[in-house]
Amino acid sequence: MNHALVLAGIRQLQFEPLPQRDLAPDEVRIRTLYSGISAGTELSQYRGTSPYMSRHWDIARRVFRDGEPSWSFPVRNLGYEEVGEIVEAGNEVADYKPGDRIFGTWGHRSAHVMRAADIGDRRMPDGADPRFGIFSHIGAVALNGVHDARIRIGDLVVVFGLGVPGQIVVQAAHRSGATVIGVDPVPFRRQMAERMGATHTLDPDSGSVADAVKDLNGGLGADICIEVSGFPPALAEALRTVAYASRVVAMGFFQGETLGLRLGDEFHHNRIELVSSQISGVAPDGSHRWNKPRLWKTAVHLQHQGRLDLLPLITDTVPFETAPTLFERLDSGDTTILQSVLNFGEAS
């Protein structure tokens, strides 16, 4: 029997059976191999802090409103970093066959049925490690943030927050020709950032990041700061750290009110450009070339080409059946975890 992980209530995970049905002629059945857990988005669901769980998202006007929440329990959309293998194809499917590996978003579930027309560019490269696929979405988030930063070769870039997306941003910014400084209070994450390409790392609990960066850069400040933690004090410090008329990219998922920002201080006096970056949209000036499917595909293929090395970010791989325990560890703030992965059975 196939199963899906669902959120029955705040911090209440359970497994729900998935009935198997016959395929339509244009469909394929996918056996999940691996599913990555997002310690940001998914924990906001697990804890009930996502704005979708307390307010209504008016998609037509693109504003949140008080009223009936957009999401209610049980939440069945946990998980968006999956990779699997086709085990069956409908009789009208010509372009895909059993054994083909597909990455995509179908949640923490052991199997998925997809229309062949919806697969698009989600086929894994031949010979690729299937785990590359779990970085398709979070890798796209990071690449989109790097694009929004508009990094020039030789720029000094400071990345605040060295969780999984921050680590990918560090590596992508370094590979784009920037000198990168990583900021995080957790020593293990700072060590990983140095492995990802950071020239320096800083502990924000040890003093002013802005002063430390300006000491390293002749008093000028950073060309770009990228905030990836969703922690308001980090965004406030990023605004203090960049040079005059420079750019801060806010990638973090801030929840509730963002307290502690003094917008009349450096933000105002230094003419800082503050850019919101997230995967629901690509910046309009690049959208004639880039879109989400291209970002997803690029995140996978850059790994296969050896231009991004993201597998070291996987610290924990556990059987699907133990997912609730893994969520408990993430919720407790276990700092030994970076990318955690659910294993649905060894890849053939």
Tell me: the pLDDT tens digits for 292-316? 999 999 999 999 999 999 999 999 9
Can 2-123+310-343 and 144-284 be said to share one CATH topology? no
DSSP-derived secondary structure letter, 261? -
The residues spanned by each domain of the chain are: 2-123+310-343, 144-284
- Count the neighbouring beta carbons within 10 Å of the beta carbon of residue 268: 11
Please give the mean pLDDT across all residues of the chain. 94
CATH number of the domain at 144-284, please?
3.40.50.720
Asked if 238 contacts 149 with a C-beta cutoff of 8 angstroms, the reply is: no
Give the C-alpha separation, 274 to 150, whole Å: 13
| Topology classification of domain 2-123+310-343 | Quinone Oxidoreductase; Chain A, domain 1 (3.90.180)
pTM of the model: 0.94
Cα dihedral value 320, 324, 330, 335, nearest 10 = -70
Give the C-alpha separation, 91 to 85, whole Å: 18
Q: What is the pLDDT along the chain (348 residues), one digit of tens a residue?
A: 799 999 999 999 999 999 889 999 999 999 999 999 999 889 999 999 999 999 999 999 999 999 899 988 999 989 999 999 999 999 999 999 999 999 999 999 999 999 999 999 999 999 999 999 999 999 999 999 999 999 999 999 999 999 999 999 999 999 999 999 999 999 999 999 999 999 999 999 999 999 999 999 999 999 999 999 999 999 999 999 999 999 999 998 887 778 888 888 888 889 999 999 987 788 888 889 999 999 999 999 999 999 999 999 999 999 999 999 999 999 999 999 999 999 998 654
Task: Give the pLDDT of residue 129.
Answer: 98
Task: Give the pLDDT of residue 346.
Answer: 62
